[in-house]
Structure 1
Amino acid sequence: MLKYDEELFLRLVEEEGLAYREQIENFVDEICKKGYSNIFLIGAGGTIAMMYPYEYILKSNSTIEVQAEIAAEFMVMNNKRFSKDSVCIFTSVSGTTEETVAAAKLCKERGATTIALVAEPNTPLTQVVDYCITTGSETHSFDTFFMLLYMLVFRFMYNNNEFPQYEQFTNEVALLPKAILNSVKAFDAKAEEFASKHKDTDYHMMVGSGNLWGNTYSYAMCILEEMQWIHAKSIHAAEFFHGTLELVVEDTSVILLKGEDETRPLMDRVERFAEKITKQLTVIDTKDFEMEGISEEFRNHFSVSINWALLSRISVHLERERNHPLTLRRYYRQMAY
């Protein structure tokens, strides 16, 4: 497959990613023993989008109070629910994202407990927080972060007496990398077909819901807009029929990201509408992919990782078809703003 090193993926995500389980359990147990009032999931751009699935999972499966906040807004809003008893979780690939580092410093200064997942070692974010896991590689960093966040969030739920299946769940997290790899192999031809078909498409609507809303928001913003300079709009399925539907015509590219949580009927409704109007409908459905060894009750959570890996294959094929490197930027980190 184009630019896909299976051995490297399994080493980084399966072997090294899973090696952090004990460390995560130890510091989450320590935090829970000390006590806390709520959890803040804080990021910027792709990393705040990465937090939205876990905010959804906690809201729909736990009584733990949780808020996902954009770092720059969090800094200025004077959130009255934030206190020294809050737990603040950050992710950053580079460890240098200005807004994220500033938010972490603020949280630490005000006495909150801070946790970070960072790819690059010895970077500003790693030096600010109380607890840090440094994966050591930017390659497949989002895949690894997703797995670490599963273990992190569900450990908090387990310690809150809300998730007795934790041991089984975490054992199945260990099966996820191979499920991702098999799904990528099964999808790659379709990813290439999409990229070839849409290399000159100048506008996409991306629709998602539930724990896939973060992926929807992230892919439209970070990949299509930032990395490919393609106009895109992320639309929540629950809001699609409040405005956006009027822009769908026969040649509108509509991409539906279907997962397996409680919000799937919202996506079904959009699909029924879109297939009547546009000839450019793309449906990426995690139900189409086998997750060997993973229980039916956990598939809905793991859809986040499967979906992101599938989208990543579209990215590399778009990069080739459009002769537009994913690393190319006009402004981001190219100038002061």
Structure 2
Amino acid sequence: MFNFDEKRFLSTQAGAVNQKDNINKVIDKVLPEIENIFFIGSGGVGILFDSTVEFARTRSSFPFYRVIAAEFMDSPNKTFSDKSLVVIPSLSGTTQESLDLVDFCNQRNIKTLALVGSPDTLLENKATFTVYNDVLDDTSSESYYLQGLMVVLRIMLKKGEITQENYDSYFDDFVKLPKELLKVKKQAENMAGDFAEKFQDTPYHIITGAGDSYTEAYYYGMCILEEMQWIKTRPVHAADFFHGTLELVEKGVSVLVFEGEDFSRPIVDRVRKFLPQVTDTITVIDTKEYEMDISDATRKIISPIILATILERVSAYLSDARKHPLTVRRYYKRIPY
């Protein structure tokens, strides 16, 4: 595959799965003492946990929240207390907002769980608990999506919201997931190359999705196309597409449709069926079209992971076609802001 380190990818995703016991130990220890969980991050890695909270919203009665670190510290939720667990994802473990947040929690004797992608970080040293899996930008989304699911599934099991059999079935599939995702990447290769050739000079994309998968639409638009490629985007939830955004669509306007396998398919299908009436520039990425040796029950909860794996291939080809490496920035960590 083009510009891809297969060995590193497999190691990263297997590493995420292998954090099961570490995550379970933390959840089992704190669950008798907590009433809610806050996923609080900054930027892209924080956004990924919107998917976790959306997953939990429709499957669990336990309260999960995803909020933005800087805003939260200025005005915490009223439900935030010493009976909360704060999960702080940070790829580098050095993000200032995350370090400020762990200090904020420590001052209030509130337990924190850091999910870090780099070793021996300041965040790891400050947090109550730490789970570490070595990741880089191009492999991080799947890892964090998976760790978020692992937290929620453990709580659902301990609260009696899923059976041990259901829980074990999910994890049997998770163990297979690294190699199955690799198969997905290989299936996506031709599509990704064609996309890059067609859209390398396109200055603007509308991106839509729904359910667990809307997070990937939001994340991919802001954190990849905008930050890493300087391409303007308009992520919009498929349910809101007909409340404003449809008026921006006309012939030649690119719309990217991300479709997963959860309850939200009919919501996305409505947009998918409408678009040919108003534009000839439509790209549909539907996880259901990719073959995997994974149960249907598990496929329904991992659509964001599959989308992230497919879109990494798109990013690799697009950055090459545009002669714009994904690491190039104008302002990020270059000037004060």
- TM-score of the two chains, using structure 2 as the length reference: 0.96
The structural deviation recorded for 1:79 is 1.6
Structure 2 equivalent of residue 5 of structure 1: 5
Q: Identify which of 76, 82, 85 aligns with 1:84.
A: 82
Counterpart residue number, 2:192 = 191
Deviation at 1:128, TM superposition (A): 1.8
Q: Is the 8 A contact 1:176 1:302 kept in 2?
A: no
Q: Give the percent of matched residue pairs that are identical in Structure 1 and Structure 2.
A: 38
| SS in structure 2 at match of 1:240 | helix
Between Structure 1 and Structure 2, how many residues are aligned? 334
- AA matched with 1:210: G
Partner SS state of residue 37, structure 2: strand
Q: How does 1:46-65 map to 2 (within 5 A)?
A: 46-65=44-63
How far is 1:115 from its partner?
0.7
The one-letter amino acid paired with 1:30 is: K
Specify whether residues 137 and 263 from structure 1 end up closer, same or farther in structure 2 by C-alpha distance, changes over 3 A only. Answer: closer
CA RMSD for the aligned pairs? 1.2
Cα distance in structure 2, aligned partners of 1:55 and 1:4? 31
Q: Tell me the residue number matched to 2:322.
A: 322
Specify the alignment match of 1:122 in structure 2: 120
- The Cα shift of 1:214 comes to 1.1
Q: Aligned letter for 1:27?
A: V
- 1:114-154 CA distances to partner (integer Å, 9 max, x unpaired)? 11111111222112211111113426232222222222221
CA distance in 1, matches of 2:217, 2:141: 14
**1:174-218 superposed Cα distances (whole Å, 9 cap, x missing partner):** 111112111110011101100110000000000011111111111
The letter for the 2-side match of 1:287 is: K
Mean Cα deviation higher: 59-68 or 96-105: 96-105
Q: Aligned letter for 1:258?
A: E
> Quick check: 1:83–1:111 contact (8 Å CA) kept in 2?
no
Instruction: Report matched runs for 1:262-277 at 5 Å.
Output: 262-277=263-278
Contact between 1:286 and 1:307, CA under 8 Å: does it hold in 2? yes
Task: Indicate yes or no: 2:35 matched with 1:37.
Answer: yes
- CA distance in structure 2 between the partners assigned to 1:204 and 1:336 by the alignment: 29
Partner of 2:107: 109
1:107: how far off?
2.0
Letter in 2 for 1:163: I
Deviation at 1:302, TM superposition (A): 1.2
CA distance in 2, matches of 1:324, 1:83: 45
Match of 2:258 in 1: 257
For 1:117, the aligned partner's letter is: L
Q: Distance in 2 between matches of 1:117 and 1:324?
A: 30
Q: Deviations over 1:8-43 (max 9, x none)?
A: 2112212x33322211111111111x3211111111
Q: Is the 8 A contact 2:12 2:134 kept in 1?
A: no
2:308 corresponds to: 308
CA distance in 2, matches of 1:171, 1:104: 34
2: CA distance, partners of 1:107 / 1:99: 12
Runs of 4+ with deviation above 4 angstroms: none
In structure 1, the partner of 2:213 is 212
Whole-angstrom CA distance in 2 between matches of 1:135 and 1:56 = 24
Q: Is the 8 A contact 1:115 1:129 kept in 2?
A: yes
* Contact 2:208–2:235 (Cα < 8 Å) also in 1: yes
Q: Map Cα deviations across residues 60-101 of structure 1 (whole Å, 9 max, x no partner).
A: 000001111011111112321111101111111111111122
Report the AA paired with residue 112 of structure 1. Answer: I
The separation in 2 between residues aligned to 1:268 and 1:136, in whole angstroms, is 37
Q: 1:132 aligns with which of 100, 121, 130?
A: 130
Q: Which residue of 2 aligns with 1:298?
A: 298
Structure 1 window deviating more from structure 2 (122-131 vs 56-65): it is 122-131
Further displaced range: 103-112 or 246-255: 103-112
CA deviation string 1:243-272 (max 9, x = no partner) = 110000000000000001111111001111
Q: Which amino acid in the other structure matches residue 12 of structure 1?
A: T
